[in-house]
Each structure stands twice: as structure tokens, then as C-alpha cells.
Amino acid sequence: MRWQENKLPIGGHRSDAGANPASPSMNKIHPRDYGFVPVEPDPDFSEEKNRAVIKWVIEETDRIKAKKMREFDDKLKVRTDAVSRFIERIKMGKGDSEVKTYFGKKTLDYLSGRDERQEDNLTVIDSQGQVIRRPGDKYGPKKS
């Protein structure tokens, strides 16, 4: 936001004009951000608490990121191992070269990540009123 002397910021609002650039609390703030900073800080603001919250968020983000990386690496190891075994069997001339028959439906779904579908707790019904999927059906309805 650009400021003009004693005027509202260009494209700004009247509430943006209240910040005083000469205020001691404004000494570390870029002039274009004056309109977003209140003249007086909140009375219950605690710098220590703010730093603790920021530190906690960073640590929690790093923990979650590391956990996701471990999970990804584990899944990748399983998938690459399965594919390498399949290729070795084909090289040796053993077994079927068809992926679906070698792995089977459930294993192939697992390896491709289809079994990790989020459970949405909804019953899905088609246009004829037939139940397509119920909550808890991992692989669709049971065939009878």
C-alpha cells in the first residue's frame, strides 16, 4: 500500500489512516504495513507467549512432516520391493506376466494406494436405488 502525506492510503480505508508511523511500536514495521498495525498493541499481548506459540507450531510442523516422510518411505519400500519381485519372476520365466493375476485385486489396490481411501461414513446409492457402498465397505458392497 502506498501512503501519501496526511491522506488515506491509496486503495485503503479510513481505518488504515489511524496508524502513527512515528509511534515507538512502529519502528520495526515496514511503512507499507502501517495500515495493518494498530496504533496501540493489545493490552493482553505477551511477547513470550507469542514466541512460545510460534516455537510450538514450528516443532509440531516439523514432527508431522517427519512422520509423513517416514510413512511415505515405508510405503515406497513396500511398493518397490513388490515390483522388483514381480520383475524378477518375469525374468526367470516363472509365473504370469499379467500384473492383476500376479498380485490379485486386494494387493494391487494396496500397492496403488486405493485401499487408503478416506472413510466418509456415507451410504452411496445409485439412480436405481441400489446401494453402491456403505460405511465400512473398504472394497465396495459384498457380492452375494
Query: Rounded distance, CA 58 to CA 69, Å?
Result: 16
Over the chain, what is the mean pLDDT? 75
pLDDT at 25: 52
- For residue 80, the surrounding DSSP H or E stretch is helix 47-91
Task: Give dist(CA 127, CA 129) in Å, integer.
Answer: 6
pLDDT per residue as tens digits for the range 87-111: 888 888 887 778 888 888 888 888 8
Residue type, 31: P
Q: Hey, where are the domains in the chain? A: 1-45, 47-112, 119-144
Q: Name the pTM for this structure.
A: 0.46
- Find how far residue 92's CA is from the centre of its chain: 42
